[in-house]
Structure 1
Amino acid sequence: MRRTVTVLAGAAALSVAFTFQAAAAPGEFIAPNARAAAEVDYHGALQRQKNVIDSFKSAHGPNVYCVIVNPSAGINLSSALILANGGVGTTSVEASGYPTTSCDSRRDAITVVPVNNGRDVSASFTIAVL
């Protein structure tokens, strides 16, 4: 009986440890001259951010990403300068602050498409909104 209690207590402690690891928030992006910035991995997960609340792969294309800027930041994305840089395996990155159907026509979304030699690819990227 004593062994059963010990094993169950150990299993409960492990499940709590794994739960806290899975809920890790993205780190803060230190970008003093940017109004918003994000680092996104090839899965679409937000790694670091400044005034960005979410990022994900769009349901409208396998290599299209949506980066959601915090509406309280007061940034008009359609008139902002958006700089994008791709990770390994990219030759360029297309980024648009205009509402697109790929990101459900959201005004707070930046549509991002990493490109390698003219073809869209699944890749990590960084963006900065100036």
Structure 2
Amino acid sequence: MSLGAAPAPGVLEERYARLPAHQREKLNRIADTRRRLDAAARGAYEALREAQDDLRRARAALREAEEHTTRRTGGTLSLRQPDGRVMEFPARPWPPPELAQRVQRLEADVARLHAEHAAASAPAGVTTRLYERLLEHLGLRDLA
């Protein structure tokens, strides 16, 4: 992007209007692609944030469950209740398989969404550079 003064109002529109039709079409296609890629990157980022929030909540639930575990001996599990009482339950594997599996699934989702976000963001940067080079070539650098 240029750091100079902005062109007078209407100058860019006039230069754009003087471009041959095929160059205007190409410029419009690049701008449309840039907008679509930006929207895809924003969507991937939002999905990533939601998955990270889900993962944070699942990890907090796992930590909370671990905090309430006092001891496991033989075939029983002693859990301390918020009011201080201790309750005995038949022992199960720890952490509970369903909670551990949920955390693993969420971690995999977050990793996948990170990759999708990176993939959606990378082409937008490439398209932006191509768009800026084309504008510079056409003498419309101030549009970038």
TM-score (norm 2): 0.28
TM-score (norm 1): 0.30
Which is richer in helix?
2
Bigger RCO (CA 8 Å, 6+ sep): 2
Which is richer in strand?
1
